[in-house]
Amino acid sequence: MKIMLDAGHGPNTSGKRTPDGKMKEFEFNEAVAQFVKKELTAFGVIVMNSHDRERDVPLKERTTLANKMGVDALISIHANAFGTTWNSASGIETFTYTKPSDLSIILATLIQNSLCSITGRSSRGVKKADFAVVRDTRMPAVLVECGFMTNKYEAILLQSTEYRMRCAKAIAFAILCWIDQKR
């Protein structure tokens, strides 16, 4: 089984940060992706990354790589934002394409439920969107938002190693359950 992890955006993407500038979104996304990779490889899953720590990888390049490598699923990891100032928006949400496959819906639901259970954050649900990483891939693909950078409390969580590890364990657990269901 081959899984591609996508740490959304990139290290130089402008504007993707907490309102106080203490954390770039990519810092959270990449840390969680690395923790997920460690968890999955321990179970014999082959894990590839579509992102690069040194540069912003264009969306087309990410989806082309996933399609070329023939991975079984792509999971794009993100931290959410509502505007650019502190506000009360909070919780976790997971996205599929607007016309998702059944396997994408199952994967998204497993990730959403696992994340909310393990982190204790509120569920904003599984939603549909026309995001490139879920639209332009030929395999089940989901985009997960693990909390809001624009919520002061969740921003503190997103910056903590403990929360990042919890998110990773939840995502990895859901992926392993999904793989098991496919067998």
Mean pLDDT value of segment 84-98: 98
Alpha carbons 47 and 119: distance in angstroms, whole number: 23
Alpha carbons 91 and 64: distance in angstroms, whole number: 31
β 92-96/141-148 pair status: antiparallel
Alpha carbons 140 and 156: distance in angstroms, whole number: 31
User: According to the model, what pLDDT value does residue 13 have?
Assistant: 86
pLDDT-derived band at 36 (thresholds 50, 70, 90) equals very high
Q: What are residue 166's DSSP bridge partners?
A: none
- Taking the alpha carbons of 156, 146, 31, 13 in that order, is the dihedral positive or negative? negative
- Half-sphere exposure at residue 97, Cβ-oriented, CA atoms within 13 angstroms: 17
Classified as helix, coil or strand, 137 is coil
CB atoms within 10 A of CB 17: 20
Residue range of the domain that includes 162: 2-182
Calculate the average pLDDT of the chain: 96
pLDDT-derived band at 80 (thresholds 50, 70, 90) equals very high
Structure-block tokens of residue 102: 């059944």
Instruction: Say which DSSP state 57 is in.
Output: P
Classified as helix, coil or strand, 74 is strand
pLDDT-derived band at 183 (thresholds 50, 70, 90) equals confident
Number of domains the chain is built from? 1
User: According to the model, what pLDDT value does residue 177 have?
Assistant: 98
Mean pLDDT value of segment 159-176: 98
User: According to the model, what pLDDT value does residue 128 have?
Assistant: 98
3-state secondary structure 88-140: CCCCEEEEECCCCCHHHHHHHHHHHHHHHHHHCCCEEEEEECCCHHHHCCCCC
The CATH number that applies at residue 111 is 3.40.630.40
User: According to the model, what pLDDT value does residue 15 have?
Assistant: 82
Each residue of 112-155: pLDDT tens digit? Answer: 999 999 999 999 999 999 999 999 999 999 999 999 999 999 99
Spatial contact of 24 and 11, defined as CB atoms under 8 Å apart: yes
User: According to the model, what pLDDT value does residue 147 have?
Assistant: 98
Classified as helix, coil or strand, 127 is strand
Q: Radius of gyration over alpha carbons of the chain, in Å?
A: 15
Each residue of 9-33: pLDDT tens digit? Answer: 989 888 899 999 999 999 999 999 9
